Amino acid sequence: MTQGYIAGGARASVRVRVAGDYAAINIKSGGLVASRAEYEYPIPLDQARELLALCAPPLIDKTRHFVPYGGFEWEVDEFHGDNAGLIVAELELDREDQEFPRPEWVGAEVTQLERYYNVRLVTHPYRAWSENERKA
């Protein structure tokens, strides 16, 4: 999948995503919190490609893997391009205090670390991270 950001600020981000034949525009509230409002609207593929051309480089390129574990489905994103080498696992829960089994392959909790947010990977890609930033 490829995605780019039309806007990314403290209050919200607006992104365009193309995944195969599916394209959408997405608005997500900002903040370093686990629960954020998110709205996604399908758009025609040709319009999404035009909008990607308006986005600040680099575009985010990643492969999303869906990994079932303990009755939950993890989204594991393997990044490419300027963010190659970064892998992030995410789990959507019904509520923040919901219990879930933690797979042994899941690393550190990074919800509160802004540099892991896709919108920030545009301005500070993984290839530019320091050794200390890569540790957590």
Question: 119 with 17: CB under 8 angstroms?
Answer: no
Active site (annotated) includes residue 69:
no
Q: Is 27 exposed, middle or buried (0-12, 13-18, 19+ CB in 10 A)?
A: middle
Strand 38-42 to 60-69 pairing: unpaired
Per annotation, catalytic residue among 5, 22, 69, 116: 5
| 45 Cβ contact partners less than 8 Å away, ≥ 6 residues apart | 18, 21, 22, 23
Instruction: Give the residue numbers marked as catalytic.
Output: 5
